[in-house]
Amino acid sequence: MAALVGLAAAPARALDAAIERGRALLTAGDVGGALGVVAEVEARSDLPAGDLLALLALRATAEAMSEDALALARSARAIIELAPAWQAPEGAPEAFRAALDEARIAQPEPPELDVDVYPTDGALRIVIECDDDVDLVRGTRLLWRSGGERAWHRSEASEERVAGLAGTAVEYYVEALGPGGVVVAREGSARAPVRVSIPGSESDATGGLGTMTPTSDDGKTVWLIAGAVTIAAVIGVIALVAAGRSSDRTDLGVPVVEWP
Amino acid sequence: MSVRVLRVVLAFFAMCAVSCSAPTDAAWRIRFGGDGGVVGETAVRVRLRVLVDSCESTAVVYDADISRTESVPAFGEIGEGTFAFEATARDTECRIVARGCVVRALPPVGGDIVTVLDAVSPAVPACAASACVEGRCTATRGDAGAP
């Protein structure tokens, strides 16, 4: 059993203590206890990024031992999505290996963020979507600042409205958070944020810089907003199809400068 | 309605959206024309901006400043509306030597969006000489520290 829960080659540094505890429980045959630890770690927001694969491998091994084929397939796809060449260690359950092989055939795409910025009247509307085949992403995080601010504002909503004086420069980046709060996809970064500017309007001329829509920390509220956005998107698509029109969005790609 | 059901519904309609309403592809080309072609020989940097409604607008939705050797950042997708596609070329002393701006409604009816840079004479300083480094106005650069 000890070899069975080897899970992955030992990293150069110590694994997260909770994952080690989960492994110990699995070694002792306590599959339920190990899955409980996995759930506990997944709910955290401070898991070192280097431990994510170890966490998923622990989860997959426990699922293989509990013969939960559906959950195992999902975990295997998540592992292959993050690390296509990842190999199960010697002694891993055969079901785990088979699930990894099937996941490789399926070739799941890594999570991908789709961030659209719409200029509205005196503001920018930032809309975040995430394409995630294997239910790896737990949520997204938008960080932005405007008008030369040093500190970043933070939002976990799928949409934000950033208002301010016309022409105010806005910098932002978006992260998709996986189990344990590990960033599994990003657009922009703190060092290289995306830069846009706030369009102008008369009504915003007297407003303060960076007047933002309040951000909710309540996960339920976030999902309710996501649900509302989803329904709006569905209605929009239905209306679009019914009207037989193409999208009103334009993909400008990369501008081409023809130097002399 | 549970979150999972919402996601399934969204995925279904997202697939439909891809096949039924994919964004219109359009290319934005910036070329030096007429006297701008001659002046363009001295240009070392080009600033590209997309403005809302008109060339005089202060509402900027895209702003990139590149040299001859730097790659242009991708624009990505933009919604429906009228936009001005502006380009200004600077020489090594940060003087604007050529400029062009064209207004287009998006999604475009067809064809590329072409901004032609015409010579600016006399050249106009884009910033103070003390802030100019190889055609780049460094004083306008923002800080991008970690959160």
> Given a cut of 70, is residue B10 above it in pLDDT?
no
Q: Residue written as tokens 């080897």?
A: A6
Residue A118 lies in a domain: yes
As a whole number of angstroms, the distance between CA A101 and CA A79 comes to: 11
**pTM of the shown model:** 0.47
Chain A residue with the nearest C-alpha to that of B12: A234
Asked whether residue A96 is domain-assigned, the answer is yes
Asked whether residue A231 falls in the same domain as residue A175, the answer is: no
> What pLDDT digit, counting tens, does each position of A113-148 carry?
888 888 777 788 899 999 887 788 989 999 999 888
Q: A236 Cβ partners below 8 Å, 6+ apart?
A: none
Most A CBs within 10 A among B38, B57, B58, hence the mutation to make, goes to: B58
Predicted confidence band at A47 (pLDDT cuts at 50, 70, 90)? Answer: confident
CA distance A21 to chain B (A): 30
Q: What is the pLDDT of residues B56-106, one digit of tens each?
A: 888 878 888 899 888 888 877 788 888 899 999 999 999 999 999 999 888
Residues of A in contact with B60 (CB under 8 A): 167, 196-197, 199
Q: How is chain B split among helix, strand and coil, in percent rounded to 5?
A: 20, 45, 35
User: Does A256 map to a domain?
Assistant: no
- Which is higher by pLDDT, B47 or A192? B47
Residue A220: other Cβ atoms inside 10 A: 9
Whether residues A250 and B17 touch (CB distance < 8 A) is answered with no
Task: Please report whether residue A254 resides in a domain.
Answer: no
Q: Cβ–Cβ of B59/A227 closer than 8 Å? A: no
**pLDDT at residue A200, rounded to an integer:** 59
Q: Is the residue at A44 inside a domain?
A: yes
Q: Which residue of A118, A128, A155, A257 to mutate against B (max B Cβ within 10 Å)?
A: A257
79-108 of B, contacting A, C-beta below 8 A: 79-81, 87, 106-108
List the domain boundaries for chain B. 25-140
Domain assignment present for A258: no
**Are residues A100 and A191 both part of a single domain?**
no
Q: CA A175, CA A113: separation in Å to the nearest integer?
A: 8
pLDDT over 90 at A249, yes or no: no
3-state SS assignment for residue A55: helix
How far is the C-alpha of A106 from the C-alpha of B123, rounded, in Å?
A: 59
Assess if residue A71 is contained within a domain: yes
Quick one: pLDDT at residue B73? 83
More confident residue, B103 or B9: B103
Which chain A residue has its CA at the smallest distance from B87's CA? A257
Per-residue pLDDT at A246 exceeds 50 = yes
Chosen domain end from A106, A126, A151:
A106
* Pairing of the two strands B28-32 and A256-258: parallel
Mean pLDDT for A221-246 is 56
How many Å apart are CA A92 and CA A57, to the nearest integer?
Answer: 10
Q: Residue A7: pLDDT above 70? A: no
Considering A206-210, A231-235, B107-111, the range whose residues carry the highest mean pLDDT is B107-111
Which of the listed residues A77, A106, A135 is the one where a domain comes to its end?
A106
B28 to chain A: closest CA residue? A255
pLDDT at A123: 82
User: What span, in angstroms and rounded, lies between the C-alpha atoms of A63 and A236?
Assistant: 40
pLDDT at A208 over 60: no
DSSP B110-123: SS-EEEEEEEEEEE
Mutation pick from B12, B39, B52 vs chain A, by most beta carbons of A within 10 Å, is B52
Domain of residue A224 covers 218-248
pLDDT band at A112 (very low <50, low <70, confident <90, very high): confident
CATH class of B25-140: mainly beta
Greater confidence (B32 vs A200) lies with B32
pLDDT at A3 over 50: no
Within this chain, do residues A93 and A122 fall inside the same structural domain, yes or no? no
Q: CA of A124 to nearest chain B CA: how many angstroms apart?
A: 9
Q: Bin A82: left if φ > 0, else alpha if -120 < ψ < 50, else beta.
A: alpha
Average model confidence (pLDDT) for chain B?
77
DSSP at A8: S
Chain A hits for B14, Cβ within 8 Å? 131, 233
Q: Which of B75, B76, B107 sits opposite A248 (nearest CB)?
A: B107
In a domain, A259, yes or no: no
Going by C-alpha positions, the residue among A193, A187, A155, A160 that lies closest to residue A174 is: A187
Confidence at residue A150, expressed as pLDDT on a 0 to 100 scale: 85
Cβ pair B13:A237 closer than 8 A: yes
DSSP A173-239: EEEEE-GGG-EEEEES-SSS-EEEEPPP-GGGTTSPTTEEPPPP--HHHHHHHHHHHHHHHHHHHHH
What's the confidence (pLDDT) of residue A195? 85
Q: How far is CA A70 from the centre of its chain?
A: 22
Query: Are residues A48 and A16 part of one domain?
Result: yes
Q: How confident is the model at residue A201 (pLDDT cuts 50, 70, 90)?
A: very low
Confidence of residue A174 (pLDDT cuts 50, 70, 90): very high
End-to-end alpha carbon distance in chain A: 69
Q: What is the largest CA-CA distance in chain B?
A: 65
Which CATH number characterizes residue A149's domain? 2.60.40.10
Order of strands, edge to edge, in the sheet holding A123-131? Answer: A112-120, A123-131, A159-163, A211-212
- pLDDT: which is higher, A198 or A241: A198
In angstroms and rounded to an integer, the radius of gyration of the C-alpha atoms of chain B is 20
Percent of chain A with pLDDT over 70: 76
Among A66, A83, A106, the domain boundary falls at A106
Tell me the C-alpha distance between A33 and A154, whole Å.
35
Q: Which two tokens stand for residue B123?
A: 């050249």
CB-side neighbour CA atoms (13 Å) of A16: 24
Q: How many domains are contained in chain A?
A: 3
Element (H, E) at B126: none
Q: How confident is the model at residue B115 (pLDDT cuts 50, 70, 90)?
A: very high
| Structure confidence at residue B36 (pLDDT) | 58
Q: What is the mean pLDDT of residues A206-223?
A: 37
Q: Is there a single domain that holds both residue A157 and residue A83?
A: no
Measured in angstroms, the CA of B129 and the nearest CA of chain A are apart by 23
Q: What is the model's pLDDT at position A206?
A: 29
Looking at the structure, do residues A90 and A122 belong to the same domain, yes or no? Answer: no
| Distance, CA of A251 to CA of B72 (rounded, Å) | 15
